[in-house]
Amino acid sequence: MERLTALADFFAANGRAEFLRFWENAPLRDPAFWQVFWDSLWTRDAPMAFLSYTFWVFLALCALAYYLCPRVIKPVWLLLCSYAFYLYDRHGTALVAILIGATALTWLCGLAVGHLKSRPARLVCVWLAVLCCIGTLGYYKYSNFFGGLLGLAPTALPAVLGLSYFIFQALGYVLDVYHGTAPVEHNPLYYALYVSFFPCIVSGPIERADHLIPQLRAPRGFQYKRVAGGAFRMLWGAFKKLVIAGNLDVFTRAVFTDMPAYGGGVLALAAVAFSCQLYMDFSGYCDLALGAGQVLGYDLLENFDRPFHANTFAGLWRRWHISLTDWFRRHIYFPLGGSRCAAWRTALNTMVVFLVSGLWHGAAMGYVVWGALNGAFMLIGRYTAPLRGKLAARNPLYRLTPLKNLIQRCFVFLLFVFCCVFFATCYYGGDTADALYLLGHLGAGGGPALAQLPALLGLSTLTLYILGGGILLVEVFEYFGRPHEVIRKLWLPVRWVLYYALLFAILLAADFGASGFVYGQF
């Protein structure tokens, strides 16, 4: 007790002097410190990432206020939150006019298309929307690409957050109104929220007006199961992105940026790993978007349906980036004639869609080659189906259905991996020559052995175990359905064990310094 009294007397005698000495040199007294703090808090140099603590706090506050405010205020509040999300990046403040302009133009065009009786006048409005939307998209994404083909010097253009997604969403509304598959939206508030709804604006899905706008008009009240399911889906997406895709990125980036240093076995493994990384990265980010939508009470379109379980190449594309594939099918493939025309015309329509898809992914020749290869494999699969059916009937390995499914799925996956080699080289800053180098050296020797790679890349044994177990967990868990639905069916203790297991895996093995969202640049 005497020691405690002596210690208290010491602090009483010296505490004031020590505090004054600290306060004289404290950065809190410097106005420049507060200016930097204020700038860092409100004006950021990058968009608000779904995996940042800022977004999780932002979403929590947004959802809390949303469920507390009156029903008539809910869409206004969500619209303000959506624009606040867009304006978080200080460089986005000058570009918000593009979002507002696209919203206003397509809403007015939709009104005109829905009420005009003259078909030529309606077509004029449709083409006005198409030219303005595609022109804006082309200017910001492809002017340097096509300028380079013409020998023009590149110009520095700002990246517009979510440009492809909100442009396609807004333009899709006008085209749906023209074709009579969506009603005219007369309320500009609901339409503006439909175009800018912040869970969709970074990674999609590309929503349909007839799916999302009715939900915006009839917002749901708080439902614990829905919010809890949405929160788990966000945790699930964070696990896929940070633990699996992030650690795979460490490996694939090292290989694709220095291919001559590795042998054929490592190059082949990197090609396979990138395809898995691409799925985990994109589907994980979509899980975050769909989970955020559920937390707010909205069901967004599913974007993935276990694509690597497809038995055909066409089946894979019906399960991959579903909202974009559906958009291309409804607004490009069907207007061109679809498959209800001559065989050569159907083949041309398919190739057009996949070439456009390649260009949508990026202004680089490698993405165009990626799209062309996917289109070619799609056509080969379609026109060889009768012959392959006859051969399959005589194949003794195909008499066992599980073995047949395994062989077919492996073959489809390897075709997808082949295409993704061109995608990966572009994503990591290379070109088609690098992709051809990888494909041409799959049988080459040299370089470090596979067993040496973890040590060279700095991946611990624990990380490798978590990575392998995580991939297996995702495949098994998603086999039974959507993550937010499956988790609610589990026994409560098992559910909480899974919660903590995912959290510990993220804390122990997440690569927080990994590259950003792959599809964020598209």
For residue 486, give the amino acid letter. Answer: V
Q: What gap in Å lies between CA 320 and CA 332, rounded to an integer?
A: 18
Nearest CA to 168 out of 367, 351, 368, 327 is that of 327
Q: Region 214-222: what's the mean pLDDT? A: 90
What is the average per-residue pLDDT within 275-283?
Answer: 93
Q: Could you give the maximum distance between any two Cα atoms of the chain, in Å?
A: 100
Residues 6+ apart with CB under 8 A from 489: none
- pLDDT above 90: residue 61: yes
Question: Residue 237 has what pLDDT?
Answer: 93
Q: What angle do CA 360, 364, 366 make, to 5 degrees?
A: 100
Query: Does residue 427 have a pLDDT over 60?
Result: yes
How many whole angstroms from its chain centre is CA 416? Answer: 18
pLDDT in tens, 473-505: 998 888 888 888 888 888 888 889 999 999 888
Q: What percent of the chain has pLDDT over 90?
A: 42
Is this structure's pTM higher than 0.75?
Answer: yes
pLDDT (0 to 100) of residue 206: 92
Asked if the model's pLDDT at residue 378 lies above 50, the reply is yes
Phi, psi of 218 (to 5 degrees): -130, 70
pLDDT-derived band at 37 (thresholds 50, 70, 90) equals: very low
Q: 226 with 233: CB under 8 angstroms? A: no
- The C-alpha angle 377, 478, 282, rounded to 5 degrees, equals 55
Active site residues: 361
Distance from C-alpha of 270 to C-alpha of 259, rounded to nearest angstrom: 10
Amino acid symbol at 80:
L
Residue 340: DSSP 8-state: S
Instruction: Work out the end-to-end distance of the chain between its first and last CA atoms, rounded to an integer number of angstroms.
Output: 68
Average pLDDT for the chain = 84
Residues 162 and 196: their CA atoms lie apart, in Å, by: 9
* pLDDT > 70: percent of the chain: 82
7 pLDDT above the threshold of 50: no
Banded model confidence at residue 156, pLDDT cuts 50, 70, 90: low
Least confident of 81-85, 173-177, 511-515: 511-515
How far apart are alpha carbons 99 and 47 in whole angstroms?
15
Worst-scoring range by mean pLDDT, 50-59, 72-81, 318-327, 445-454? 445-454
Residue 128 structure tokens: 């006005």
419 confidence band (pLDDT: 50, 70, 90): very high
DSSP state of 78: H
Task: Give the distance from CA 30 to its chain's centroid.
Answer: 42
Q: Mean pLDDT, to the nearest integer, of 81-104?
A: 83
